[in-house]
């Protein structure tokens, strides 16, 4: 007898092959393709419904809020059953207690609070022991962040590491790899990661090679320098001989739209050489990042607290403004990429929440100041912390990227509280990708779209036994009504549940039904085992 039988379903198995009618049995957390006549403790009649593998979020920041109900809800309510976190150079390990304040500043964009146990995570095993005790509705696999490693060893120092410091960074990363980290992630537009050179990343990436590790990168530029930044990422992969995942690939700024035509060709050529290169993408024309990213990175050389001190100097503000307005200033210029304050939307501010849900230009009008002064005041009042949505991505690029053979869907989602406005990708990236690229645009068949959300990310993140509906595979499944399947999250109301999802199943157990969590937490911490 099966534990669960899903009968009379349209099965989209995740491989890209045509959908077919059939039934799925589940026993001891494993899948068996069967027929509708079998006995089971629980039977779901899926007549008129689609059954797919659980969606795999290859680019998550959910490690900052693991175990919280709102964190579970934002993922499983859109069909995600496994997330790959620790991205963009930011992870919860390693922790040097002497640099804990600086690390919390880095991570605060993703969480409102930190566990008391955090200061004890001086080894990866200690951190993993904490994760394994959490109530998880979905599975999680973790990268180790370069920014986090650098803070543990060097703080926010803007320089090359000494030989001794490089040895300490390698030791942290080796410890993580030996205990199941997926690999190394970098965030080269953020401080302190942006202070490093290519050679530093290559040396660290060589550490992950013997363990079958992956290098995942938020590249050094996603705007005018995106071609050079992707070239750097590919060179790191070649030199270290490791697979590369290019995070949330895009070209920000109208003047840079079309550049992905070049980067996609570069990736195709690298794949032809035998490199494993993957792109992840969230399906929206607006990005989300820190409140402070409009300021040149050189002002972060003494941590975010130091940046705030700089902004208290009104003469220095004038200099910073001139640098932001100058397109030749060497940094990722979010202000110019968005075309000004009219296109920068404030999603979350902890100290001045009354300004959240407004564009910076609207805040400026309310304050009766110009946009720059209002923006600097917001940074000072909020200690440099907060998040914004940046309207800067071209629709044609968006559509071209998802059709690339090595592209998969990822949320890049941040959800810090049930009631806090976030980017809609946190709650709706997967259904939005399905509806936008398949239902609306017709760019991909249903089967192709599901593959980019299931088996392909499982393959590229080296997650065994998931992403396909086949005998003996893990019973992580989504049951949805194709006609009604639709995301409801938007920029004003980000935390909205997806329509059309009837059940989400993890390890053979129903974790989401009737638009709510069931309270069952079968999710597991997945250690890297290529």
pTM (predicted TM-score): 0.92
Give the list of residues 6+ apart from residue 57 with CB closer than 8 angstroms, or none: 75, 80, 82, 83, 84, 409, 410, 411, 413, 429, 430, 457
Contacts of 505 by beta carbon, 8 Å cutoff, 6+ apart: 4, 26, 54, 81, 475, 476, 477, 478, 479, 511
- Cα torsion 494, 496, 500, 506: sign: positive
Mean of pLDDT values over 197-205: 98
CA distances from 277 to 149, 236, 281, 508 (A): 24, 12, 14, 32
Top pLDDT among 306 and 277 is at 277
Q: Binning pLDDT at 50, 70 and 90, where does residue 491 land?
A: confident
pLDDT band at 363 (very low <50, low <70, confident <90, very high): very high
Cβ-based neighbour number of residue 193 at 10 Å? 28
- The position carrying tokens 């530093």 is 200
Average pLDDT of span 289-306: 82
DSSP for 279-329 reads: EEE-S-SEEEEEGGGGS-GGGGBTHHHHHHHHHT-HHHHHHHHHHHH-TTS
> The dihedral of CA 313, 314, 317, 318: what is its sign?
negative
Please give the residue that has the higher pLDDT: either 506 or 305.
506
Question: And the tokens for 102?
Answer: 């600086």
For the residues of 71-125, what is the DSSP string, one character each?
HHHHHHTTTEEEEEES-TT--S----GGGHHHHHHHHGGG-S---GGGGG--SHH
pLDDT, tens digit, 9 for 90 and up, residues 5-55: 999 999 999 999 999 999 999 999 999 999 999 999 999 999 999 999 999
Average pLDDT over residues 504-525: 98
What does the pLDDT look like over 317-338, one tens digit per residue?
999 999 999 998 888 899 999 9
Burial of 476 (0-12, 13-18, 19+ CB in 10 A): buried
Q: What is the pLDDT of residue 431?
A: 98
| Helices and strands, number each (H, E), in the chain | 17, 23
Architecture of domain 1-52+418-518: Roll (2.30)
Sign, CA torsion 173/525/141/282: negative
H or E element, residue 268:
helix 260-272
Q: Report phi then psi at 413, rounded to 5.
A: -85, 145
Q: Which of 114-118, 270-274, 413-417 comes out lowest in average pLDDT?
A: 413-417
In this prediction, residues 490-509 reach a mean pLDDT of: 95
pLDDT for 289: 85
Q: What pLDDT is recorded for position 109?
A: 84
**Correct CATH for 55-278 of 2.60.40.10, 1.10.287.810, 3.20.20.140, 3.40.50.720:** 3.20.20.140
Handedness of CA 356, 359, 362, 368 (dihedral sign): positive
Is 506 in a helix, a strand, or coil? strand
Equal CATH topology for 1-52+418-518 and 55-278: no
State yes or no: pLDDT of 277 exceeds 80.
yes
pLDDT tops 80 at residue 303: no
Residue pLDDT, tens place only, 423-467: 999 999 999 999 999 999 999 999 999 999 999 999 999 999 999
At residue 302, the pLDDT reads 64
Q: Give the residue from 77, 93, 206 showing the smallest Cα distance to 146.
A: 93
- pLDDT for the residue 350: 87
Dump pLDDT digits (tens) for 141-177. 999 999 999 999 999 999 999 999 999 999 999 999 9
Name the average pLDDT for the chain: 95
Report whether pLDDT(301) > 80. Answer: no
Length of the chain counted residue by residue:
530
Residue 241 pLDDT greater than 90, yes or no: yes
Residue with tokens 């491989």: 15
Q: How far apart are CA 316 and CA 311, in angstroms?
A: 7
DSSP symbol at 345: E
CA atoms of 519 and 135, how far apart (whole Å): 9
Name the residue ranges covered by the structural domains of the chain.
1-52+418-518, 55-278, 290-391
Residues in Cβ contact with 160 at an 8 Å cutoff, skipping those fewer than 6 apart = 196, 197, 200
383 three-state secondary structure: coil
Torsion, Cα of 108, 193, 333, 315 (10° steps): 80
Containing H/E element for 40?
strand 40-45
Q: Are 14 and 408 in contact (CB under 8 A)?
A: no
Find the range with the poorest average confidence among 75-84, 114-123, 145-154, 304-313.
304-313
> What is the secondary structure of 363-378 as a DSSP string?
HHHHHTS-HHHHHHHH
Percent of the chain topping pLDDT 70: 100
Please report which confidence band the pLDDT of residue 216 belongs to, taking 50, 70 and 90 as the band edges.
Answer: very high
Q: What's the rounded Cα separation, in Å, for the pair 505 and 24?
A: 12
């Amino acid at each position: 007898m099966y534990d669960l039988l899903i009968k009379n379903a349209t099965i989209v198995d995740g491989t890209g092959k045509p959908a077919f009618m059939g039934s799925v049995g589940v026993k001891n957390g494993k899948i068996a393709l069967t027929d509708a006549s079998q006995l089971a403790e629980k039977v779901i009649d899926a007549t008129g419904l689609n059954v797919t593998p659980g969606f795999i979020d290859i680019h998550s920041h959910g490690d900052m809020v693991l175990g919280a109900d709102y964190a579970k809800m934002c993922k499983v309510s859109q069909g995600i059953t496994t997330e790959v976190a620790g991205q963009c150079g930011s992870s919860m390990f390693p922790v040097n207690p002497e640099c804990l304040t600086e690390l919390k500043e880095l991570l605060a964009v993703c969480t409102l609070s930190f566990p008391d146990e955090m200061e004890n995570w001086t080894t990866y095993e200690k951190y993993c022991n904490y994760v394994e005790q959490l109530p998880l509705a979905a599975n999680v696999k973790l990268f180790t962040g370069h920014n986090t490693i650098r803070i543990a060893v060097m703080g926010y120092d803007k320089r090359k590491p000494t030989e001794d410091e490089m040895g300490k960074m390698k030791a942290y990363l080796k410890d993580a790899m030996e205990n199941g980290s997926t690999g190394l992630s970098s965030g080269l537009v953020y401080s302190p990661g942006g202070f490093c050179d290519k050679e530093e990343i290559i040396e660290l990436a060589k550490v992950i090679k013997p363990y079958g590790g992956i290098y995942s990168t938020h590249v050094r530029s996603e705007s005018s320098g995106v071609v050079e930044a992707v070239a750097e990422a590919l060179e790191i992969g070649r030199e270290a001989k490791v697979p590369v995942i290019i995070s949330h690939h895009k070209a920000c700024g109208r003047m840079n739209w079309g550049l992905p035509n070049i980067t996609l060709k570069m990736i195709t050529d690298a794949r032809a050489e035998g490199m494993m290169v993957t792109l992840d993408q969230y399906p929206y024309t607006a990005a989300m990042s820190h409140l402070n990213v409009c300021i040149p990175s050189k002002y972060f050389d003494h941590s975010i607290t130091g940046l705030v001190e700089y902004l208290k100097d009104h003469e220095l503000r004038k200099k910073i403004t001139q640098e932001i307005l100058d397109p030749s200033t060497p940094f990722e210029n979010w202000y110019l990429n968005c075309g000004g304050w009219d296109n920068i939307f404030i999603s979350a501010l902890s100290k001045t929440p009354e300004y959240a849900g407004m564009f910076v230009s609207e805040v400026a009008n309310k304050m009766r100041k110009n946009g720059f002064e209002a923006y600097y005041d917001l940074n000072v009042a909020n200690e440099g912390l907060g998040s914004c949505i940046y309207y800067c991505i071209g629709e044609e690029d968006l559509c071209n990227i998802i059709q690339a053979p090595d592209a998969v869907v990822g949320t890049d989602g941040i959800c810090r509280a049930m009631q806090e406005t976030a980017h809609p990708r946190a709650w709706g990236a997967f259904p939005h990708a399905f509806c936008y690229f398949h239902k609306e645009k017709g760019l991909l068949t249903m089967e192709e779209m599901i593959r980019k959300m299931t088996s392909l990310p499982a393959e590229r993140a080296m997650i065994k036994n998931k992403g396909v509906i086949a005998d003996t595979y893990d019973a992580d499944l989504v049951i949805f009504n194709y006609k009604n399947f639709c995301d409801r999250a938007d920029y004003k109301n980000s935390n909205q549940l997806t329509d059309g999802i009837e059940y989400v199943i993890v390890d053979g157990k129903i974790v989401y039904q009737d638009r709510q969590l069931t309270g069952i937490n079968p999710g597991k911490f997945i250690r890297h085992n290529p």
